[in-house]
Chains A and B, each alone.
Chain A
Amino acid sequence: ETGVTQTPRHLVMGMTNKKSLKCEQHLGHNAMYWYKQSAKKPLELMFVYNFKEQTENNSVPSRFSPECPNSSHLFLHLHTLQPEDSALYLCASSQDRTSGVTYNEQFFGPGTRLTVL
């Protein structure tokens, strides 16, 4: 148990559906991240939130829409996805280095396996 939970663990959706992925961290961290992990490709950083403010959007298509209502919760809203969006979506959290930590390793959730038909 890493202290980061994600729901659902598996999701199958059509290209016209709208769904949301949820992430919750119980570690008291102030930064949260969304990553995409596809087969034979490196983990790709999608979004970064620090103190609930989005600080990075790594050129992600607008069909992915993040939401961070507080520093413990992170959502990824999905709409009109494409089959190539099928991947493992990982959420992570960390403590920002300005908080005085020596290094800020990220703690990952188990991921949501998304299949777009």
Chain B
Amino acid sequence: GQNIDQPTEMTATEGAIVQINCTYQTSGFNGLFWYQQHAGEAPTFLSYNVLDGLEEKGRFSSFLSRSKGYSYLLLKELQMKDSASYLCAVNYGGSQGNLIFGKGTKLSVKP
């Protein structure tokens, strides 16, 4: 079966660093995506990993280990506007983006 696990909720302090983990077991693997979703809004794309290692994009970084079925999203210098749900999704095959999503991690950033 297909399964993606990530913590349900996390809390962090403004200015701090937080790491959101994601583990996956899928029938195939064609890349892993992280999306951000503010309450009542559409998910927006944050990052994509298909090879092992770290991808850095400003305050956000994402890491992938395919052998461990593991990824994390690292958010630095947290801001209040980073309070949102963070969705881990795996493209399990096909040329189009057939994605399976985790339940999302709700991050609350406190002053």
Contact = CB atoms under 8 A, between A and B. Distances in A.
Interface of A: 2, 4, 31, 33, 40-45, 48, 50, 55-56, 90, 94, 96-98, 103-111
Given A48-B98, A96-B95, 6 more contacts: A43-B101, A50-B96, A56-B94, A106-B99, A107-B45, A108-B42
A107 B35 CA distance: 10
Interface residues of B, number: 24
Nearest to A44: B101
Given A103-B48, A108-B44, A111-B42, A45 B33 contact: no
Given A31-B97, A104-B97, A106-B97, A43 B42 contact: no
B101 A2 contact: no
B42 A42 contact: no
A96 B95 CA distance: 6
A33 B97 contact: yes
Contacts of A110: 41-42
